């Protein structure tokens, strides 16, 4: 059995009360949370290493020996930092960790101190009950995921790769939660891929001058035209193996015939039949480029020489060449583009015994549910760990009631999670980690 239900709730609540806000300006301090995690591991005899990448920017890594040491090890990781929260906007103070009517409130409840607490609760139960997983399990609690990961997983991969020796698969956030698809149908989307990050800077140079004069070489105009092209561009559908399997799996659950090999297959037409379940795949059918920022000028009657814009691009696995050639066309000859930040796309095997073990653990706790793969539209620390050859899955199990909008609570106001969902997650995570071969 997993740790008593109160343990995971207490752990999550305590972590939420430790303010680890990451504004992206370098002021975040994860160290108090890292020390808390290390102490909770030490309580049950697990040796943990606290590793600072800069003053206050701390990570925690621990290894638990399995009963079958010849097998590959697995990595279970969660980040300790959270995005900012404005208390005045919340019903409950975002760093109170308050439990109200069976629901735990606070920044990080779903992203992702709840998962951190589940990780701790599972391994603490193992130690108390004298149980072990089959494979070595490496736990990593990281800094800076909500920014660039430079102080967290990126640092660990560059400077402490030895701590992850033998790890071939990793498990972390954003998958294995209940998605209610209508008519009582429950889906559990498990992350088996991520689009790549392609944040771009667009720069237009032109002729500076007086705002009242004719100017045929206006940098602001050139940039605005390019950004409008990015905004209006319709990227073509490109079915990756993960998304193909997701579309087919959702179709099966909903009783909708889907043949992705049919030359007449129309992804948008199929998604129109999926109802609310369309949101599990609609953002990952294509590459994307969304303009997000513009910087130009300093006075209304002065035409600036330079204008800069930023575009949030996301790239499907295997689509980098097509993406870059299209971006160059959209930018046009007047605008230069380069990467502000880039990270690789990821893809994991959905036909693996590991994926089957995750599905078995979920359906053992929720019989009659359907487990489907999912490609995540954004990114996680799995991108950094992939440099060590670790295949990443999104597996942070939660059983959620109908009407609970899990995705909207990521970085949202009034972030919260039912206590029962955390208890469910502990049971599923325990079952999976002790049975996966």
Strands 73-79 and 167-172: parallel
Which of 3, 7, 30, 81 is flagged as catalytic?
81
CB-based contact 289:312 (threshold 8 Å): yes
Distances in Å between the alpha carbon of 327 and those of 293, 313, 336, 343, 365?
17, 9, 10, 17, 46
Give burial (CB, 10 Å; 0-12/13-18/19+) of 32. middle
269 is catalytic: no
- Which DSSP symbol is given to 367? T
Strands 186-194 and 209-210: unpaired
User: What is the spatial distance between Cα 404 and Cα 125, in angstroms, rounded to a whole number?
Assistant: 29
Which of 144, 145, 169, 248 is flagged as catalytic?
145
81 is catalytic: yes
CB-based contact 151:54 (threshold 8 Å): yes
Indicate the SS3 state at residue 251: helix
In 76-110, which positions are buried (b, 16+ CB within 10 angstroms) versus exposed (e)? Answer: bbbbbbbbebeeeebebbbbbbbbeeebbbbbbbb
Catalytic residues: 81, 145
């Amino acid at each position: 059995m997993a740790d008593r239900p109160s343990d995971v709730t207490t752990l999550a609540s305590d972590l939420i009360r430790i303010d680890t806000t990451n504004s992206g300006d370098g002021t975040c301090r994860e160290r108090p949370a890292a020390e808390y995690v290390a102490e909770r591991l030490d309580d049950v005899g697990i040796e943990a290493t606290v590793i600072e990448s800069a003053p206050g920017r701390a990570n925690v890594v621990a290894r638990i020996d399995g009963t079958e040491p010849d097998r590959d090890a697995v990595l279970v990781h969660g980040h300790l930092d959270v995005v900012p929260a404005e208390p005045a906007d919340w019903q409950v103070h975002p760093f109170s960790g308050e439990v109200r009517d069976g629901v735990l409130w606070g920044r990080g409840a779903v992203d992702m101190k709840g998962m951190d607490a589940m990780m701790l609760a599972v391994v603490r139960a193992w130690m108390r009950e004298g149980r072990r997983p089959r494979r070595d399990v490496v736990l990593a609690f990281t800094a800076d995921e909500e920014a660039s990961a430079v102080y967290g997983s990126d640092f660990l991969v560059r400077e402490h790769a030895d701590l992850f020796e033998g790890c071939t698969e990793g498990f972390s956030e954003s998958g294995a939660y209940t998605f209610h698809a209508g008519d009582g149908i429950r889906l559990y989307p498990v992350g088996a891929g991520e689009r790549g990050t392609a944040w771009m800077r667009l720069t237009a140079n032109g002729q500076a001058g007086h705002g009242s004069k004719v100017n045929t070489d206006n940098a602001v105009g050139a940039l605005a035209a390019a950004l409008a092209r990015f905004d209006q561009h319709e990227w073509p559908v490109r079915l990756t193996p993960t998304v193909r399997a997701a579309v087919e799996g959702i179709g099966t659950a909903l009783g909708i015939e889907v043949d992705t090999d049919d030359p007449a297959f129309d992804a948008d037409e199929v998604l129109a039949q999926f109802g609310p379940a369309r949101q599990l795949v609609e953002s990952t059918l294509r590459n994307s480029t969304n303009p997000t920022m513009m910087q130009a000028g300093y006075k209304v009657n002065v035409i600036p020489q330079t204008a800069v814009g930023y575009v949030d691009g996301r790239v499907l696995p295997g689509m980098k060449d097509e993406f870059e050639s299209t971006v160059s066309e959209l930018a046009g000859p007047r605008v230069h583009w380069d990467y502000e930040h880039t990270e690789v796309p990821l893809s994991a095997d959905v036909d693996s015994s590991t994926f089957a073990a995750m599905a078995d653990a979920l359906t053992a706790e929720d019989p009659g549910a359907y487990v489907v793969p999912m490609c995540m539209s954004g990114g996680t620390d799995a991108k950094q760990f992939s440099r060590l050859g670790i295949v990443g899955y999104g597996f942070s199990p939660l059983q959620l009631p109908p009407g609970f909008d899990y995705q909207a609570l990521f970085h949202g106001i009034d972030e919260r999670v039912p206590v029962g969902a955390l208890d469910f997650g502990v049971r599923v995570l325990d079952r999976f980690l002790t049975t996966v071969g």
